[in-house]
Structure 1
Amino acid sequence: MKTPRLLAGFIGINRHLDAEIPELSCARRDATALWALWQDTLPATSPCLLVDEAATHVGIEQLLTRTLDEATEHDTVLLTFSGHGTHNHRLVAYDTSLNDLAATTIAMASLAERFRRSRARHILLVLDCCFSGGAPAKVIEDGLLPRGAGYALEEAFTGRGRVLLAAANVTEEAWESGQHGLLTAALLAALRAASGELAVTSLLTEVSGRVQAEAQRLGAVQTPRWVGEVEGSFALPALQAGPHYYRAFPEQTGLRVSNSLRELSGFGLPEEVLMVWERQFPAGLNELQLAAINEYRVLDGQSLLVVAPTSSGKTFIGELAAVRAAVNTRRTVFLVPYKALANEKYEQFVASYEQSIGLRVIRCTGDYQDATSAFVRGKYDLALLTYEMFLSLLVSRPGVLNRIGAVVLDEAQFITNPGRGISVELLLTYLLTARERGLSPQLVALSAVIGDTNGFEHWLQCRALVHLRRPVPLEEGVIDRAGVFEYVDPATNQAYTTQLLPSSAIVQRGKEPSNQDVIVPLVRQLLAQATTAKVIVFRNMRGKAEGVAGYLARDLHLPGAPAVAAALPAQDQSRTAIRLRECLRGGTAFHNSNLAREEREVIERAFRDPKGGIRVLGATTTIAAGINTPASAVILGETEFTGEDQQPFTIAEYKNMAGRAGRLGYNERGQSFIIARNAMERRHLFQHYVLGRPEDLASSFNSAHLATWVLRLLAQVGQVPRAEVARLLANTYGGYVASRENPAWRPQVQSQLGYLLEQLLSAGIVEQVEDMLRLTVVGEACATSTLSFESVLRLLQLLRRLSITSLTLTRLLALTQALPELDETYTPLFKNGTKEKSWPHEVAQQLGGDLASLYQQSLPSGSGVGVAYLRRSKRALLVEAWLAGTPLEDLEERFTNSAFVPVNYGDIRRIVDATRFHLRSVVPIVQALYPAVSLPDDALNELATRLEVGLSTPALSLLRVTGLTRGEILLLHRHGMSQPQAGWAAVAPVVEAVLGTARAQQLAANWPKPVSPPAAT
């Protein structure tokens, strides 16, 4: 008599060859967990595991042959499939093609036939997929049958001893949540909890109940179906975890490590990544990182708030969590405040993780190069996004959260920022609210030093790791015009005063005393300490940052940096770019928004490089927000921002700037200096900033903007009882803190909401059905936009004054200039200039008199109304000129009417970026308000790209050539080139003649291959 066998196969598919098939997060984990537990419990059965690339159409067919087809009457067959199903009742393989579904999928009819034909005594087939629904459910649309078409499981899968367990009814979706699909999670829980063999009938009943309950938490309906007839004692063993399971899921072991990076292999991190990290961090893991791993279990998937100084290694904790999740097939989102930081991280992650272990790294920052489609479809492992981009995608595409295993939020202290804080708080509120639906990706929030966390970690429902020690000591102090330096020695933590500069070294260099008098001798002395010393001088204005680099280049006589200058774009130079080259000749540079992105990146790389040639960098304050610019010393020329109110730096902002000095791996210690005018100011600044305690974390929530918060929160919940709107606000961090401090806060807010809700209702943004409030179609477009409530109301008023037939993208571009967000965008204006007074007339000529009238009619009340009118007109014309491909030099000259109020590249960039950003919100609102208006997506995408790069439509095709700058594209286009697909051989003579032989050789490898004409028919 033959020995009975258990033939088991486990299939799980996250990834697919076809780029149009959305990817899953948990299917591979589903199969791996079942296989590993089965292998540990019954090692003699040799179960088969097919995941991702191995789970091809042919591979699955071969597994079915080895199990169902070759089984004898003594055998039991267990097969599980986790992945996509289709509406036409087919199982999707790794290599399934949407263009040929019939030949590249496993038909349920074929599977049912094998099911009936098999000689096996018992068969259990588990399908954790669905045949109905949409993303992020485990189904793809195949178009072969109408949605919801019936399929009789009972008729297809019949036979004694044969059981099929399907994740859901054919009209329902099968969902993923957390670590596994709902069906597999329930199956694992039941089998691991069993004390002995578990009868299949009991198992199916328990699993079905668990799935239905968990689906309800998600706000969904999922009812597992099982069909078949159990014969005899059909039971499955209780599953026990062992070496196979713990190798696959090392976070379950409680592993502790020393500072050796090699020991991280126990968490399943690949050898190639560990080698990359060893090169980056030869000293191994530091105290902060070890605490995060061993005590706070960040590599076990635990959420965590990390508060630590600059250069403490906190960002690497985020990377650890991100890479651990990614290699475990759980996608990670890394959120940063600025596009520049996202681009820097993107380059770093590609070099460290894509090239070493093949992780797919993408970025979404609002640029034309974005991989937004890949992000929505889950075609990535690590994604870099800005706060606003992530929030927009979360709200507009809720399904993306189902695919995310970890979220790393860098610079979390931005939640306090008056302008950006709302985006940070709303995206975190969204993540927390999603936990009520069973979605709980790991959250790692990284913050610079703050005061008290003010309950932030409790609101986030995680632990806080607060670490105030720096691995590189920092000597902080204030120096006055007499050269006296008052500082804290990091070795003793005691305050001292010393004559750092001889008074003779500080001489007045201009008509009046200025910070320059101290900065020049101070930088000279700091650079003399070591040949590798580098200094950042922070100034609060773009002009001052350029100025300090200029006079230090003249006074210090440092060796020049010709290689850096040669790496800068050679064409389309702004006035600022010319000044930058002058500074580089003296070994200095500056970093501000007047430089193009390519120029800033060249400067950042050169300053990071010990041999890069730049010894001193003049910079505005934004470079302090995480951009990797290590320095041995930092100087603050001011302690307040510019503007009407001259808001002083917070202590936290000062600490962040000072923390740029003394970076691990670059310097043994750091020094920071604030410049004071006299001894009295020195003592005050020392007490306030150096000895001061950073401010407690706070929300940016402002009751003056209550309507905007309500609108954005309504977009996250769909509908809510009118009496519960205050609860939405209470769920925010601001609401949490306010409720904790004032128990009457919620009733007080409720009393303010009556008038506000009536405004929303009368504006057609919200509608009320019985006691439930929900957004209208127009309201959804408004609520998912970037616009404030005030801006939404103004836009709706403006749109209703314009003829529907006049609503083109070009005119909407101009209309955007009348929104409050653009009115608040700095626009240089010489109030008494003759050019300025001609702008409204030009707008009327180019864009229509009705728009010019609306500019004037919709002005806010108060002083400066006439100036605001001129600024709107100027912005509209500047944007039009930028879109036409006007060179920077011509733009700056045309729109500058006084040397005292120049228009620089940074002003142009700020205006066109704000226009592009908010136009993306304006268009959906117009389409919701007037569905008949045609504003095609491809036309909007093209216009957004043109706004980003400043090119006319005919020149856009040259963007296909990687590495071409705007200036080079404009130059080539003026020489008649606009079709790069002609191939390099055809264009090489023109490129060499226009850009030079050396540059042509650099571009040759990037030139698109020639496009072959279609074959004759």
Structure 2
Amino acid sequence: MTILANFIGINQYADIHISDLTGARRDATALWALFKDTVPEIQAKLLVDSDATIDNVRESLNQTLKSARSDDTVIISFSGHGTHDHRLVTHNTTVSDLTETTISMEEIADCFKETQAKIVFIILDCCFSGGAPARVLESSPIPRGPVPPLNILAGTGRILLAAANTDEFAYELPGTGHGLLTKAVLDVLQAASIQVNISEAVNDIMERVRADAGKIGVEQTPVMLGYVEGGLLLPALCRGENFYREFPETRAVIVNRDIKDLSVFGLPDAILSEWSRNFEGGLNDLQLQAVNEYRILDGESLLVVAPTSSGKTFVGEMAASAAITKGRKALFLLPYRALVNEKYNQFSKLYGDGLGLRVIRCTGDYTDQTDLFIQSKYDLATLTYEMFLNLIVNIPTILNQIGLVVLDEAQFIADPSRGINVELLLTFLLSAREQGINPQIIALSAVIGNINSFDAWLNCKSLVTTERPVKLIEGVLDRSGIFQYLNPDGTTGTKQLLPFGTVRIRRDKPSSQDLIIPLVRTLIQNNDNEKIIIFRNRRGSAEGCAQYLATDLDLYLKSVRPSAELPVHDLSVASAKLRNCLNGGTAFHNTNLSRDERIIVEDTFRDPNSTLRILTATTTVAAGINTPASTVIIAEQEFVGDDGRPFTVAEYKNMAGRAGRLGFNEEGTSIILADNAHQRELRFHQYVMGKLEELNSSFDVGHLETWIIRLLAQTKRIELNSVVRLLLNTYGGYLANSKLPQWRTAMEQNLDALLKKMIALGLVEQEAEFVQLTLLGRACGNSSLSFSSALKLVELLKSFMGIALSATDIMALVQTLPESDNGYTPMMKRGQSEAKWPSIAAGRYSHTIVQALQRNAQDFFDYYARCKRVAILRDWIDGVPTNVIEQRYTTNPFSGVITHGDIRKFADATRYHLRSAYQIASLTLFDGIPAADDVESLTKQLEVGLPASVLDLLGLPILLARGEYLALSQTNIKTIEELWSVPVDHLNEILAPKRVNELLKYRRSLPSDED
């Protein structure tokens, strides 16, 4: 007797409208490998993903069944999507032609009738009933009459084991990489000692499926039809060479520094070769520990706390590659859109273009691939914290597909403004474990003090190190030129870094410029490869610093002239400054630069062969953007703003950590500036020798309402006495309850009063012992707004009952919220020069809207600032050139200066809250609100700064700069169709030749009308 087998598993579907799965390929591969290891003589075929086309599946089934002899046993397993009308969905199934691109039960039954095989055993781990995230094609037709039952495949010598009955769903079990049915079959077949009688084991399989289904809060019961006289006997499956090759995580292996050693984990040779080229020295100690001791490639979660440039990001990349190799989805979550875009570009180039992985990003921009994320049509995704939180709260089934979450810059959980989003998304992930959803978590953090049970809350191990691949000298320099420093070996000392008398007053009074110029000159003269980052706490200071260094050091530097690459349209005041700086060998990096300008600055500075030697930057460069230097100079030690908060030790260490370029410098140096010897001593002990702050939660009992409404938005319905558990699940609740046993009782009392208040406000409704958010409450809870802001918006909107609001009206009303007021708006607060903005705003909006801007204003300047913002936003979306907006709204060249960074900040903050405001408005006003499409259009306009008439051009796959879109618009090219009709010579007059060539290359790739 011979066993002939087909194992079919499909995770990835070619049709964009068919969502991908995560466990089907693994189902088929595991069964194939175990049978191959146990029964070497088996004739087994494995068809997965792109190989499992309808033709290949059909041919494989026909060949197997036709070649079977009268004493043979045929085993067929199918894991993937089914349709409502009982058809198997293949890799190249198309939703538009289901009948011709799927395989029906009747077709399979006909094959069964023709085979001479003694026994045919078919496992169908799909379902024929709806319900995401079940293994069914939702868009398939639902039969209205009698349908072929599954038992047409069954009979004497023909056994069918189906994942669920025709009216049930078949699910995947998150965290295992398998469908519920296949996992149970694998467990039963491996648990036996010699052989298994499937007829007798079916009860065990059913119980296992029911138990696992219960873990994720669903019901699923397998169905077995048909019979074999004496029962169907299968051998107990044993793991061997094939299984361990496909699933290396099932046996612990130890690797050495050679990256090629990672092949034992099943990582593709192409990825390992690329890594080997990028990391010639192989794995460092941190990465080796993560692999060998903490088993990240075996799926173990881990908290990594390490300095900048320690190689911790590569720990996340290794884990992501291992997860993807096993058919799981991997995510990188990052704090800023700039970081998401940088990682997306890096990963696309490395893993997408070169290795064929599907890399996507989601940041809230119009270029997002959110649809692909929801449909699981990706391998590796990069998202901002807020975007991920929004998606999983609104579409919780997304979590079922995720195998790994890499949380970069995890220390942001303590951030006063962003921390709540980090904590809520982690709370959601941890709470999902109660439903059996348990993705691997790799949390990467810059240096912090005591991790304060963060790892215990995450239920993972922690890998904490202060070691850096490039040693770092830290110190403080005063105006006498004395440098007090800490060596990498822990010894301290002082030296005369600058000759006495070098530092002199260069302006009308002492300033940091006096020290920075001679310091930079000395560093440049002493090292031909010197690259310096100077951190400044203001955008203006960063620009000014780069300018005076470009002027004063011109004799010592070769100029950098990438001007041909720099944008030529819609230039801001900062654009002109940047060109002057680059001509002197310096550059600055802040939000006043456009996206293209920042990318050029970053790429040029990190190029070791570039003559750009000095980069002055605001603190955002310290938050993960890949711009290392040999020396870091920190000019100030506090943030700007009303509070002027000093840098924490951790924030200082993050900036200092940018010093040191692996492969170019044996060590890096960070230098804090001080005025005198006393200040030098203070800053040396405060920062260089300072103790890192303990990690903590941003939870604030003073904002309990915001936390509760955001947590309730993560649930559908909850028992009243269980609401406090939502708080206990957070990191803040975990810490508070462990340190103060009576904290829970106190919270229960607070929550009782709070829930009564929310019920009275119509945000929460109660039924018996259960509470849930109302639709309005859910809109507030899912919004980006604090509880108090949401309520203020509701009250403001109620005053507009019976008045029709446009999308731009809602945009204006967003400016009354604390989230908008708390952002800095440059104002001249002496005299009445800012008092003109209400009348100017009234010319762009109705008097009713402008009057509403007075609501809850703290003073006149608060009101003027709101009017100024709404006028700027209107100019921005109308396509007014950036330099015109800057000049129009700058009241005084020395105070109240409006820059490109301010314009973008207003636009980005507004569009971030606009959708939330609109959803709340739709539940408050019911009528008189704009169409959803108008709001979506306005959101795009705020992002790109274009009139609605030009938005069609955003459909081009080539991303243009704002100025390029406006230049096309000014010549009446406002649609893609109009663009293609323009002669090339005319395009060359409008756009740079490089851009025209990109457009023409894309145009030639399109099918012609004749095609």
TM-score, structure 2 length as denominator?
0.97
Moved more, 558-567 or 98-107: 558-567
Instruction: Give the structure 2 partner of residue 743 of structure 1.
Output: 741
**911, 915, 922: which one aligns with 1:916:** 911
Q: Is the 8 A contact 2:13 2:92 kept in 1?
A: yes
Distance, in Å, in 1 between the alignment partners of 2:475 and 2:377 is 49
**507, 512, 515: which one aligns with 2:504:** 507
1:505-584 equivalences in 2 (<5 Å): 505-557=502-554, 558-584=556-582
- Cα shift at 1:376: 0.6
Distance, in Å, in 2 between the alignment partners of 1:471 and 1:308 is 11
- Cα shift at 1:670: 0.3
Q: CA RMSD in A?
A: 1.9
Distance, in Å, in 2 between the alignment partners of 1:439 and 1:804 is 47
Q: Does 2:59 match 1:65?
A: no
1:702-851 equivalences in 2 (<5 Å): 702-804=700-802, 806-832=804-830, 836-851=834-849
Q: Secondary structure at the match of 1:47?
A: strand
1:634-673 equivalences in 2 (<5 Å): 634-673=632-671
Distance, in Å, in 2 between the alignment partners of 1:882 and 1:387 is 27
Q: Is the 8 A contact 1:150 1:170 kept in 2?
A: no
Q: Secondary structure at the match of 2:564?
A: helix
Instruction: Give the structure 2 partner of residue 872 of structure 1.
Output: 866
Residue identity opposite 1:449 in structure 2: V
- Cα shift at 1:156: 2.8
- Cα shift at 1:798: 1.6
Distance, in Å, in 1 between the alignment partners of 2:957 and 2:243 is 48
Q: Is the 8 A contact 2:154 2:160 kept in 1?
A: no
Residue identity opposite 2:886 in structure 1: E
Residue identity opposite 1:975 in structure 2: T
**190, 207, 210: which one aligns with 1:209:** 207
Instruction: Give the structure 2 partner of residue 344 of structure 1.
Output: 342
Distance, in Å, in 1 between the alignment partners of 2:2 and 2:67 is 11
**971, 974, 977: which one aligns with 2:973:** 977
Residue identity opposite 1:940 in structure 2: V
Q: Does 2:139 match 1:145?
A: no
Q: Secondary structure at the match of 1:99?
A: helix
Q: Secondary structure at the match of 2:853?
A: helix
Q: Secondary structure at the match of 2:483?
A: strand
- Cα shift at 1:502: 1.5
Moved more, 638-647 or 227-236: 227-236
- Cα shift at 1:444: 0.5
Q: Secondary structure at the match of 2:391?
A: helix
**953, 957, 970: which one aligns with 1:958:** 953
Deviations 1:526-557 (A, max 9, x none): 11222111111111111111111111111111
User: Structure 2: 5+ residue runs without aligned partners?
Assistant: none
Instruction: Give the structure 2 partner of residue 315 of structure 1.
Output: 313
Instruction: Give the structure 2 partner of residue 164 of structure 1.
Output: 160
Q: Secondary structure at the match of 2:447?
A: coil
1:407-486 equivalences in 2 (<5 Å): 407-486=405-484
Distance, in Å, in 1 between the alignment partners of 2:192 and 2:575 is 71
Residue identity opposite 1:746 in structure 2: R
Q: Does 2:100 match 1:103?
A: yes
Distance, in Å, in 2 between the alignment partners of 1:81 and 1:157 is 14
Distance, in Å, in 2 between the alignment partners of 1:50 and 1:985 is 47
- Cα shift at 1:989: 2.0
Distance, in Å, in 2 between the alignment partners of 1:285 and 1:135 is 41
- Cα shift at 1:628: 0.5
Distance, in Å, in 1 between the alignment partners of 2:151 and 2:579 is 79
Q: Is the 8 A contact 1:983 1:1007 kept in 2?
A: no
Q: Secondary structure at the match of 1:613?
A: coil
- Cα shift at 1:566: 2.7
Instruction: Give the structure 2 partner of residue 497 of structure 1.
Output: 494
Residue identity opposite 2:906 in structure 1: I
Q: Secondary structure at the match of 1:571?
A: coil
Deviations 1:42-74 (A, max 9, x none): 010121111011111111112221234443432
Instruction: Give the structure 2 partner of residue 247 of structure 1.
Output: 245
Distance, in Å, in 2 between the alignment partners of 1:713 and 1:150 is 45
**923, 928, 940: which one aligns with 1:945:** 940
Identity %: 48
- Cα shift at 1:271: 1.4
Q: Secondary structure at the match of 1:106?
A: strand
Aligned residue pairs total: 1006
Instruction: Give the structure 1 partner of residue 21 of structure 2.
Output: 24
Residue identity opposite 1:255 in structure 2: V
Q: Secondary structure at the match of 1:131?
A: coil
Moved more, 652-661 or 955-964: 955-964
Task: Find runs of 4+ consecutive structure 1 residues off by over 6 angstroms.
Answer: 1008-1015
Distance, in Å, in 2 between the alignment partners of 1:573 and 1:35 is 61
TM-score, structure 1 length as denominator?
0.96
Q: Does 2:879 match 1:882?
A: no
Residue identity opposite 1:83 in structure 2: G
Moved more, 164-173 or 956-965: 956-965
- Cα shift at 1:883: 0.5
Instruction: Give the structure 1 partner of residue 987 of structure 2.
Output: 991
**24, 38, 41: which one aligns with 1:44:** 41
Distance, in Å, in 1 between the alignment partners of 2:337 and 2:167 is 43
Deviations 1:893-944 (A, max 9, x none): 1111111210000100000000111112122223344555665554333222
- Cα shift at 1:1014: 10
Distance 1:223 1:937, change over 3 A: farther
Distance, in Å, in 2 between the alignment partners of 1:407 and 1:25 is 15
Deviations 1:696-715 (A, max 9, x none): 11111111111111111112
Deviations 1:494-518 (A, max 9, x none): 1101121122111111111111111
Distance 1:884 1:458, change over 3 A: same
Q: Is the 8 A contact 2:36 2:44 kept in 1?
A: yes
Residue identity opposite 1:957 in structure 2: D
Distance 1:333 1:305, change over 3 A: same
Q: Is the 8 A contact 1:217 1:438 kept in 2?
A: yes
Distance, in Å, in 2 between the alignment partners of 1:804 and 1:374 is 40
Distance 1:854 1:998, change over 3 A: closer
Q: Does 2:350 match 1:355?
A: no
- Cα shift at 1:233: 3.2
Distance 1:83 1:760, change over 3 A: same
1:262-273 equivalences in 2 (<5 Å): 262-273=260-271
Q: Secondary structure at the match of 1:465?
A: strand
Deviations 1:389-430 (A, max 9, x none): 111111111111111111111111111100111111111111
- Cα shift at 1:963: 4.3
Deviations 1:68-90 (A, max 9, x none): 44434322221111000111111
Moved more, 822-831 or 932-941: 932-941
Instruction: Give the structure 2 partner of residue 629 of structure 1.
Output: 627
Q: Secondary structure at the match of 2:916?
A: helix
Q: Is the 8 A contact 2:151 2:225 kept in 1?
A: no
- Cα shift at 1:253: 2.2
Distance, in Å, in 2 between the alignment partners of 1:129 and 1:657 is 52
Q: Is the 8 A contact 1:859 1:868 kept in 2?
A: no
Instruction: Give the structure 1 partner of residue 298 of structure 2.
Output: 300
Distance, in Å, in 2 between the alignment partners of 1:822 and 1:252 is 52
Distance, in Å, in 1 between the alignment partners of 2:983 and 2:691 is 62
- Cα shift at 1:728: 0.6
Residue identity opposite 1:965 in structure 2: A
Q: Secondary structure at the match of 2:714?
A: helix
Instruction: Give the structure 1 partner of residue 678 of structure 2.
Output: 680
Residue identity opposite 1:128 in structure 2: D
Moved more, 565-574 or 155-164: 155-164
Moved more, 562-571 or 239-248: 562-571
Instruction: Give the structure 2 partner of residue 112 of structure 1.
Output: 109
